[in-house]
Amino acid sequence: MQNLKQAIINRQNLSENKCGTTVMSLMEELNLNSMEIKVLLNQLHVEKFVTIREGINHKLIFLK
């Protein structure tokens, strides 16, 4: 969980929180499958650590 939080924070800092992070990029970076990442992202969403928005082609993850 901590690795996922840090990966999201790092990507958001690079874009100055203007661009969201894709699920695919997190899956590649952390070597997780779709079910594992989905469970972790749902937990982060419940904790109000991230928001999930619908992008043009896929969902994007932003820090709250």
CATH number of the domain at 22, please. Answer: 1.10.10
Tally the residues of the chain.
Answer: 64
Instruction: Spell out the alpha helix ranges (H) of the chain.
Output: 2-14, 23-30, 34-46
What gap in Å lies between CA 57 and CA 55, rounded to an integer?
6
Q: What is the pTM of this model?
A: 0.86
Q: Counting beta carbons within 10 angstroms of the beta carbon of residue 21, is it exposed (0 to 12), middle (13 to 18) or buried (19 or more)?
A: buried
- How many structural domains is the chain composed of? 1
Mean confidence (pLDDT) of the chain:
92
Examine the pLDDT at 7 and tell me if it is beyond 90.
yes
Mean pLDDT on 41-57: 93
Q: Which domain holds residue 56?
A: 2-63
Is residue 64 very low, low, confident or very high in pLDDT (cuts 50, 70, 90)? confident
Position 1 confidence tier, pLDDT thresholds 50, 70, 90: confident
Nearest Cα residue to 51 out of 25, 12, 14 = 12
With tokens 């969902």, the residue in question is: 59
